[in-house]
Amino acid sequence: MDVTFERTGERRYATVVTLPGSDPRRMDPAPGYDEHIPHDLVHYLAEAELGLTSGVYGRALAGGGSFMETTETPGDPRRRVRAQRKLKKREESLRKSGHGDMATSEYFAGLCDIAWRRRSGARTPAWAEHTPLPPGDASKVSRILDRLDETAPLWHGLPVGGSLTFTWPNTTPRARQAS
């Protein structure tokens, strides 16, 4: 599965998931734009680094992923509606079986976003400035921060129309500049 993070505007990005043999699923705009590293990209790196198989991207690989509200299904509108229903039904099933990974993904994405901002000198939300990092999570956080340190400059340097594509669960992207 390929996961692409595309800078679609000055303060916008899209997340595109492409499974082999399937039409791409695209969310545009995706939530949590940030010039240094967007929210969905933090999730991707946390899940890949921790080997979470039932988080946001593991669910997408298994045919779910309700975070992808729009499906690029060519053809007749009824076909698109059927594809959306199938996706929602699959997501309901995956939600029941993978709750732990999803909670872990949310926890580490939020924690590492804060920790990375502090470490890199990026603007940290006021509410998070004094949030302590649990010592028991230090080794996992450190591994994820290393991935964020590698990826954030690549994202930050992309022009509008540029993208980073990862093959799940690889944490090394392929960059594409705008054409």
Domain ranges of the chain: 2-176
Neighbours of 175 (CB within 10 A): 12
- Report d(CA 14, CA 170) in Å as an integer: 19
pTM of this prediction? 0.81
pLDDT at 167 over 60: yes
Neighbouring-strand partners of residue 2: 18, 167
Helices (H), the chain: 39-50, 56-61, 77-97, 99-120, 138-156
pLDDT confidence band for 178 (50 / 70 / 90) = confident
Structure tokens at 102: 């999803």
Q: What is the per-residue pLDDT for 121?
A: 84
DSSP state of 10: T
- Each residue's pLDDT tens digit, 118-155: 888 887 777 777 778 889 999 999 999 999 999 999 99
- Report d(CA 153, CA 44) in Å as an integer: 16
Q: What is the per-residue pLDDT for 92?
A: 60
Give the mean pLDDT of 56-73. 68
Closest CA to 35 of 56, 9, 57: 9
